[in-house]
Amino acid sequence: MQHFKVSGGKKLSGEIEVNGSKNATVAILAAAMINKGKTTLRNVPQIEELNRWIEVLESIGVGVERDGKTLTIIPPEKIEIEKINREAAERTRSAMMLIGSLMTKFDEYVIPQAGGCKLGSRTVKPHLFVLENFGVEIETKEDGYHVNTKKRHEADEFVLYESGDTVTETALMAAAQFESKTKIKMATSNYMVQDLCFFLEKLGVKIKGIGSTTLEVEGVENIDKDVEYEISEDPIEAMFFISLAIVTESELVIKRCPIEFLELELLKLEKMGQKYEILKKYVSKNERTQLVDLKIIPSNLVALEEKIHGLPFPGLNMDNLPFFVPIAMKAKGKTFIHDWTFENRAVYFTELSRLGGKVTLVDPHRVYVEGPTKFKNADMISPPALRPAAIILVAMLGAKGQSILRDVYSINRGYENLESRLKKIGADIELVNE
């Protein structure tokens, strides 16, 4: 077990870079199973979620070579799905994307039930409904998802039951394996979905409508190609650093921010009174994603009159929504935050009350945050969910005195070498092993 020991209330300074996207990486790892050739991924984040994926892939016979932020995936002649590392698969919800990527490899197989963040009821039915369009039958049992693909076939056109990111990715991976054209309606166009599309294009898959809610996919029946792909930067990590700069009242330069997926967040902050500058514009090494270097300037904030809520892209990113809780604690007035997507995630927001916040729970989806409040130190246990845990750490770094955040596995799932990176910009933080 690992803990963060924080001496907060200190201003940060300098520059920090945004790493590769966690959610794009796990989607592309699943999609790499479609390919019989070697897949080399660059700018891969070194996080616990990736470690669990490597354990899963190696357990089914996949060759995995790691060299810093470069990961090489070498599929075996035969994938041994029956030997899957159940413990590793159950600790990451994204492992369920193997259901779609393996659908042409086997007639029958079992994928362990998904884990990941504890955010209440998160139905998998939209994934099952997607694959029904391809003739795939899935039965949920106690030991996992029992998949039967004996009647698999191409799909012409369908509507997603839910406009979700992983659901869209499941649909893309399934469609990519058939030479016919498939039209996917009500798709999301979020950052990880676009990254997956760019990767599939490297494999020879043709995709029209990237960045829109309707995707037309012309797949390839037998993909056997050595490819290299650079993972794009993570807008959620960028938002972590943005909120950290605001809470600590620091002037901080955040480099390599994927601006297309932060524009609405920055507009909301601007209307709250936050000042920032875009120092430089350029393109990611994948040659598709627009990046900027962003300077956050200490500012006096005022609460927005309107509620703040997440939506599918191009709305405010649902994973960025929690960061507005510690930000709202700095703003004068009352902020209404509506987290309608996840069951019970808003309940975790009330944990910030222990750090000085005036956070009132309206119901399992909505809170009021009244500010400005003075952050105070505390000794707390990390919630079993990535973003709620991250905002507690942000608040601790803004609170004078020593705080301890215990059992930080949920943060390590999504953030790479966080304590060493934060130290470089002036944070007093230590990772303690127990």
Q: Which has more confidence, 259 or 92?
A: 259
Does the structure show a pLDDT above 50 at 260? yes
Closest CA to 106 of 59, 138, 142: 138
The average pLDDT across 250-277 equals 98
Q: What is the pLDDT of residue 181?
A: 97
Q: What is the pLDDT of residue 122?
A: 45
The average pLDDT across 87-92 equals 85
The average pLDDT across 61-76 equals 96
Q: What is the pLDDT of residue 114?
A: 65
Return d(Cα 162, Cα 64) in angstroms, integer: 33
What tokens appear for 136 in the block?
């795939």
- Residues 44 and 232 sit within 8 Å (Cβ to Cβ): no
Closest CA to 373 of 276, 270, 247: 247
The percentage of residues in the chain with a pLDDT greater than 90, rounded to a whole number, is: 87
Quick: pLDDT tens for 119-172: 344 467 888 899 999 999 988 888 888 999 999 999 999 999 988 999 999 999
- Residues 137 and 130 sit within 8 Å (Cβ to Cβ): no
Q: What is the pLDDT of residue 117?
A: 41
Return d(Cα 380, Cα 126) in angstroms, integer: 36
Q: How far apart are the first and last CA of the chain?
A: 5
Q: Which residues pair with 292 in a beta bridge?
A: 257, 281
Q: What is the pLDDT of residue 420?
A: 95
What tokens appear for 304 in the block?
């927005």
Range with the lowest mean pLDDT among 13-22, 90-99, 218-227? Answer: 90-99
Q: What domains appear along the chain, each with residue ranges and CATH number?
A: 2-19+233-433 (3.65.10.10), 22-230 (3.65.10.10)
The percentage of residues in the chain with a pLDDT greater than 70, rounded to a whole number, is: 97
Q: What is the pLDDT of residue 95?
A: 81
The average pLDDT across 77-87 equals 92
- Residues 348 and 385 sit within 8 Å (Cβ to Cβ): yes
The average pLDDT across 35-64 equals 95
Contacts of 183 (CB under 8 A, 6+ apart): 156, 157, 158, 214, 215, 216, 217
- To 10 degrees, what angle do helices 235-247 and 386-398 make? 30
Does the structure show a pLDDT above 60 at 116? no
Return d(Cα 431, Cα 433) in angstroms, integer: 7
Return d(Cα 126, Cα 132) in angstroms, integer: 10
- Residues 238 and 248 sit within 8 Å (Cβ to Cβ): no
Does the structure show a pLDDT above 50 at 240? yes
Quick: pLDDT tens for 313-337: 999 999 999 999 999 999 999 999 9
- Residue indicated by tokens 């020593």: 402
Closest CA to 395 of 340, 346, 324, 316: 324
The average pLDDT across 198-224 equals 97
Q: What is the pLDDT of residue 121?
A: 42
Q: Which has more confidence, 297 or 416?
A: 297
Q: How confident is the model at residue 56 (pLDDT cuts 50, 70, 90)?
A: very high
Return d(Cα 274, Cα 305) in angstroms, integer: 15
133-137: Cβ within 8 A, 24+ apart: 133/158, 133/174, 134/103, 134/174, 134/178, 136/99, 136/103, 136/174
Does the structure show a pLDDT above 50 at 191? yes
Q: Which has more confidence, 378 or 113?
A: 378
Quick: pLDDT tens for 272-299: 999 999 999 999 999 999 999 999 999 9
Contacts of 429 (CB under 8 A, 6+ apart): 4, 5, 6, 7, 397, 419, 422, 423
Range with the lowest mean pLDDT among 126-130, 213-217, 374-378? Answer: 126-130
Does the structure show a pLDDT above 90 at 387? yes
